[in-house]
């Protein structure tokens, strides 16, 4: 099997952890008879420095002409004061819309080896395994009109519009239900239907779609209650589906249940074409180039890519098992270090992982 993978190392620790991901793919490729053709492109801060744009047209074109896109991290202090349209994050939004990536899958699974890293009590988080399915290209982030306008009285007024069409809700609902089918068969739809008309519309569509998935148990929660329940009793959740804004907030909250955001991957998928797979952590410019980065979330993003984009579940399983074995052996980067473990840098963590894989 031959696959073309577009690599977007980005900024900060991105190039360091991307190197590890590529090495892992080469080993896996040899073991499973998979041939990977890699093409690299700039995005984010490095793209701004090189071209003046956070997402050059050439980068988007390379991504479109690939089987999957592997992204590391973007952003940093250097570009924080640029106009909004020139910031690294704008490049990420452009990538999502340019590839039609409307569904973001964010797992939050407690690894037994890292359970004490959570800020919540062991009995609360032990066994937690949640998948947050977030709508990615609609809602308040993309709704029109938006901007800062002057009123008739001369006062300025900031406006953003939360809007969803029937088709936008139905397609993310389908992803949510299908994801729940592959997991525990429970789907919780999160909205704010008691206040927002768009949320009531969302709830109505979710309820109507549920008739097509009789094997999935559908429930509804208001977003404020869902946030509370995530820290009160997270084990009640299996799969969560929600809109762009609520999903942005709840997926980060769910990630921190694990206490190790440096361990969490994500996938952004469209109806067709390549998906984008990336760790949920940032570019960590304060430790860039110091061999301190944790590459494991990037490696687990590779596993998600193999599973969801390339349909190679056995290869994905092999990578995930290797990560668990490395943790069982006691190796830790600084962000997940605990007493009695062996602290290593990015390069040594990669060496141990590759050895286990081999």
Q: What is the pLDDT of residues 94-137, one digit of tens each?
A: 999 899 999 999 999 998 888 888 889 999 999 999 999 999 98
Is 260 a residue whose pLDDT tops 80?
no
Q: Indicate which residue of 23, 141, 170, 222 is catalytic.
A: 141
**Residues 261-300, buried b or exposed e (16+ Cβ, 10 A)?**
bbbbbbbbbbeebbbbbbbbbbbbbebbeeebbbbbbbbb
Q: Indicate which residue of 23, 170, 252, 291 is catalytic.
A: 252
Q: How much is the average pLDDT of 28-33?
A: 97
Q: Residues 51-87: pLDDT tens digits?
A: 999 999 999 999 999 999 999 999 999 998 899 888 9
Q: Indicate which residue of 62, 192, 292, 318 is catalytic.
A: 192
> Which pLDDT score is estimated for 258?
86
Give the least confident one: 35-49, 110-124, 194-208, 274-288.
Answer: 110-124
**Both tokens of residue 165?**
């069409």
Q: Residue 25 — very low, low, confident or very high, per pLDDT cuts 50/70/90?
A: very high
Q: Of 309, 326, 227, nearest to 266 (Cα)?
A: 309
Per the annotation, the verdict on 224 as an active-site residue is yes
Q: Residue 321 — very low, low, confident or very high, per pLDDT cuts 50/70/90?
A: very high
100-to-74, 78, 94, 162 alpha-carbon distances in Å: 20, 29, 10, 19
Q: How much is the average pLDDT of 216-233?
A: 97
> Which pLDDT score is estimated for 261?
79
Average per-residue pLDDT for the chain? 95
Per the annotation, the verdict on 204 as an active-site residue is no
Cα angle 29, 31, 36 (rounded to 5 degrees) comes to 10
Per the annotation, the verdict on 238 as an active-site residue is no
347-to-113, 115, 299, 305, 330 alpha-carbon distances in Å: 21, 24, 13, 22, 16
More confidently predicted of 256 and 180: 180
Which long-range contacts (C-beta less than 8 Å, at least 24 apart) are formed by 286-290?
287/13, 288/11, 288/12, 288/13, 288/16, 288/76, 289/16
% of the chain residues with pLDDT over 90: 88
């Amino acid at each position: 099997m031959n696959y073309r993978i577009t690599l977007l190392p980005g900024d900060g620790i991105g190039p360091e952890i991307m190197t590890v991901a590529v090495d892992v793919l080469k080993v896996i490729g040899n073991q499973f008879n998979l041939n990977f053709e890699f093409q690299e492109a700039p995005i984010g801060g490095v793209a701004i420095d090189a071209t003046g744009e956070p997402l050059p047209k050439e980068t988007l074109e390379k991504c479109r002409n690939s089987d999957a896109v592997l992204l590391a991290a973007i952003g940093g202090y250097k570009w924080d004061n640029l106009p909004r349209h020139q910031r690294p994050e704008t490049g990420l939004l452009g990538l999502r819309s340019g590839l039609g990536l409307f569904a973001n899958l964010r797992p939050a699974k407690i690894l037994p080896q890292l359970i004490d890293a959570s800020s919540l009590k062991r009995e609360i988080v032990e066994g937690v395994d949640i998948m947050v399915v977030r709508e990615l290209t609609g809602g308040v982030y993309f709704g029109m009109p938006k901007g800062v306008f002057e009123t008739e009285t001369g006062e300025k007024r900031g406006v953003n519009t939360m809007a969803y069409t029937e088709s936008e809700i139905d397609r993310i609902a389908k992803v949510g239900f299908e994801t729940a089918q592959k997991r525990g068969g429970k789907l919780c739809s999160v909205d704010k239907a008691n206040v927002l008309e768009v949320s009531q519309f969302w709830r109505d569509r979710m309820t109507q779609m549920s008739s097509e998935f009789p094997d999935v148990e559908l429930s509804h929660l208001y977003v404020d209650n869902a946030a509370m329940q995530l820290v009160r009793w997270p084990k009640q959740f299996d799969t969560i589906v929600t809109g762009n804004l609520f999903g942005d907030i709840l997926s980060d909250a769910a990630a921190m249940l694990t206490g190790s955001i440096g361990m969490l991957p994500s996938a952004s998928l469209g109806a067709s074409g390549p998906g984008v797979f990336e760790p949920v952590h940032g570019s960590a410019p304060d430790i860039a180039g110091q061999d301190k980065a944790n590459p494991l979330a990037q490696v687990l993003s590779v596993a998600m890519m193999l599973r969801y984009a390339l349909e190679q579940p056995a290869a994905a399983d092999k990578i995930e098992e290797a990560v668990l074995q490395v943790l069982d052996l006691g190796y830790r980067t600084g962000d997940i270090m605990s007493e009695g473990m062996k602290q290593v840098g990015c390069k040594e963590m990669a060496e141990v992982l590759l050895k286990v894989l081999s």
